[in-house]
Amino acid sequence: MIIDVHGHYTTAPAALGEWRQRQIAALADASSSPRASELSISDDEIRESIEKNQLRLMQERGSDLTIFSPRASFMAHHIGDFQTSSTWAAICNELCHRVSALFPEHFVPAAMLPQSPGVDPASCIPELEKCVREYGAVGINLNPDPSGGHWSSPPLTDRHWYPIYEKMVEHDIPAMIHVSTSCNACFHTTGAHYINADTTAVMQLIQGDLFKDFPTLKFLIPHGGGAAPYHWGRYRGLAQELKKPLLDEHLLNNVYFDTCVYHQPGINLLTEVIPVKNILFASEMIGAVRGIDPETGHYYDDTRRYVEATQNLTPEEKHLVYEGNARRVFTRLDARLKARGL
């Protein structure tokens, strides 16, 4: 089985975006705020949005199952207040749940959280609990910068985040560290802000000792880990200067990287530097980079091609990247698959 651990509902019916624009416009006049019940998206509209897009590409590229969460750039936690984010997160999470219910063999939900700048992360727990218990979510997306590029939140190792971590451990779910839209003109959302955040998360975890308090906590750093694998020697050296253990012990029992790296040399480097046990297959298809690479004639985000072509992985190691590691990290997904006899 080939499991893609990084998928977003980027092709949701247009009504979702239209409702969101109404919600944002109403921030200046609360009396015009739309109710969630005013958003109407039929099962047929969801089927069409998935069958013509993600499912079609999964079948063409040979992947079987996608862990599916709301569109990352749509999370936009910096917009409005907690109530704004709470309503929006509930709508988006329900849609991903409906996708998984309509296509149970191909999609499993992961949840966005209703984060808001300056708001206690504990406020996100009711939505997290609902998504795990009622929707069958197997993971969450955690935004380390709800401010959208201003980095006003404490680092991930701070006790500020502990209410979320306690629930992650309780339910044995990992978090993908994933920022949302940048509202800072200095940082392009997908080209700079995302990669900056991935790299920043790795360094924050090196500086702290979070996993002493939470030895079973699991984080997935997307987009191939940002700059971290490319500069792995730098981070090993910084950890040494900070009197931390070797990174294999300090990070790699709890931190994982995906394969959302959109060229062959990048996958080659990732699989050469990072231990195979810490790499999970992912594509983030129909996401940040949707075009065709003129050098290869294939889509940039067809990441299976790169995994297949690398000389750094044996067939047994490719099995770990495609399936084994995902089932070990996403234990609730593993339980679902075992219940289906897989």
The catalytic residues are 284
Q: In the chain, helix, strand, coil percent, each to 5?
A: 50, 10, 40
Strand, helix or coil for residue 153: coil
Question: CB neighbours (10 Å) of residue 51?
Answer: 13
Strand, helix or coil for residue 73: helix
Q: Nearest-CA neighbor of 251 among 277, 281, 286?
A: 277
Q: State the residue for tokens 């889509």.
A: 299
| Cα(54)–Cα(68) distance, integer angstroms | 10
Question: CB neighbours (10 Å) of residue 175?
Answer: 24
| Cα(309)–Cα(264) distance, integer angstroms | 8
Q: State the residue for tokens 């300090």.
A: 250
Element (H or E) spanning 219, and its range?
A: strand 219-221
Q: Which residues of 15-37 are buried (b: 16+ CB within 10 A; e: fewer)?
A: ebeebbeebeeeeeeeeebbeee
Q: Give the largest Cα separation in the chain, rounded.
A: 60
Residue type, 176: M
Q: Nearest-CA neighbor of 151 among 186, 185, 188, 117?
A: 117
